[in-house]
Amino acid sequence: MTSPQPSDVPPIADWNRLLDGKVAVVTGGGDGIGGAISRLFAQHGATVEIAEIDSDRAETTRAAIEAAGGTAFVHIVDVRKPDDVARLAEAVLGKHGSIDVLVNNVGDFRPIVRFQDSNVESWQAMYEINLLHFFSVTQAFINSMMRNGGGSIVNFHSVEGMRGYPGEPVYASMKAAVGHFTTSLAVTMGRYGIRVNGIGPDLTQTPQVDYMTGYEDAEHLWPSWAPVGRLGWPEDQARVALFLASDLSSYVTGHNIPVDGGSKAGGGWFYSPTARRFVNRPKTL
């Protein structure tokens, strides 16, 4: 039996430019976690193709990347719409032929509908914003990645897909499905040089999830809310995405990493008799 040769491990030419010369598509890449990913990937040498529904957010991030000396392009799309996904793929593949990195990042827990009040329309809406486009966007790009000899796919879901989430079981189910799509696709695609991994965020301050407003008088309680003792920021998520997108993780595939300050490990949800609901940051119980 021969030992693995060092040449099996992709060399890192420049640790400050981990995605040098790569093409990366980031859905929802205009703001929040996606915005931080677009900026960090561009800083590391990637050409970033921002697929974003909000033109102001997309343009703000594109301009910030350009001002910092990076390269990014904007595609105004709603990833829930198959025609928009086809237009995105046509534009990106028409320009580059293939891509190296795909970050499926769009998702939303809103509006929260208690399961007992939910209906087929609310289930469909949760499906379209949290799961359907993971299939459609991935399929739109994966054939080119297979032809090109590989790539990395990073799927954002949620810690709520990795533990019981009392607030919205349908949302949690969609997120769990993204995690399992990730695991299964990784096994299918490994032989083509395509790695597929997932990130389950929690407790991260973004336009969608505002952990600060209304909690100004309770900042001192962060140690009881997150084992690492602080609020998370989009940059915390982007660093893990960079690891998974780059050759730093060349032997990692099929995994789902909670990026949550330890909330999954610590449990996280408490039933408050006074509030009479499940809360994840109790001021009092």
Ligand X SMILES: NC(=O)c1ccc[n+]([C@@H]2O[C@H](COP(=O)([O-])OP(=O)(O)OC[C@H]3O[C@@H](n4cnc5c(N)ncnc54)[C@H](O)[C@@H]3O)[C@@H](O)[C@H]2O)c1
Catalytic residues: 171
Based on its alpha-carbon atoms, the radius of gyration of the chain, rounded to whole angstroms, reads: 19
Smallest distance from ligand X to CB 77, Å: 6
* 235 near ligand X (CB under 6 A): no
Residue given tokens 């800083």 in the structure block: 43
Candidate residues 37, 74, 79, 241; the one interacting with ligand X per rule CB under 6 A: 79
Candidate residues 41, 85, 103, 107; the one interacting with ligand X per rule CB under 6 A: 107
Provide the 8-state DSSP code for 10. P
Q: Tell me the two tokens of residue 32.
A: 């929040």
Q: Is the dihedral of CA 198, 204, 210, 214 positive or negative?
A: positive
> Which of these segments, 22-30, 37-45, 116-124, 189-197, binds ligand X (CB under 6 A)?
22-30
Number of Cβ within 10 Å of residue 244's Cβ equals 23
- Nearest one of 279, 237, 216 to 107, comparing CA atoms: 237
- CA atoms of 276 and 267, how far apart (whole Å): 19
Closer CB to ligand X, 70 or 261, in the complex: 261
Judge residue 73's burial from the number of C-beta atoms within 10 Å of its C-beta, 0-12 exposed, 13-18 middle, 19 or more buried: middle
Candidate residues 32, 179, 258, 261; the one interacting with ligand X per rule CB under 6 A: 32
Smallest distance from ligand X to CB 46, Å: 18
* 49 near ligand X (CB under 6 A): no
Candidate residues 17, 73, 78, 248; the one interacting with ligand X per rule CB under 6 A: 78
Candidate residues 47, 105, 136, 197; the one interacting with ligand X per rule CB under 6 A: 105
Smallest distance from ligand X to CB 105, Å: 5
Provide the 8-state DSSP code for 167. S
Helix axes 120-127, 169-189, angle to 10 degrees: 40
> Which of these segments, 28-36, 42-50, 142-150, 186-194, binds ligand X (CB under 6 A)?
28-36
Site string for ligand X, 140-179 (x = CB under 6 A): ----------------x-x---------------------
Smallest distance from ligand X to CB 82, Å: 12
Closer CB to ligand X, 38 or 253, in the complex: 38
* 207 near ligand X (CB under 6 A): yes
Q: Decide: helix, strand or coil at residue 17.
A: coil
* 52 near ligand X (CB under 6 A): yes
Q: Count the residues in the chain.
A: 285
> Which of these segments, 37-45, 76-84, 94-102, 186-194, binds ligand X (CB under 6 A)?
76-84
Smallest distance from ligand X to CB 163, Å: 12
- CA atoms of 53 and 89, how far apart (whole Å): 15
- CA atoms of 94 and 140, how far apart (whole Å): 12
Integer CA distances (angstroms), 245 to 22, 66, 205, 221, 282, in order: 10, 21, 22, 34, 36
Residues of this chain that interact with ligand X (CB under 6 A) are 27-28, 30-34, 51-54, 57, 77-80, 105-108, 156, 158, 201-204, 206-209
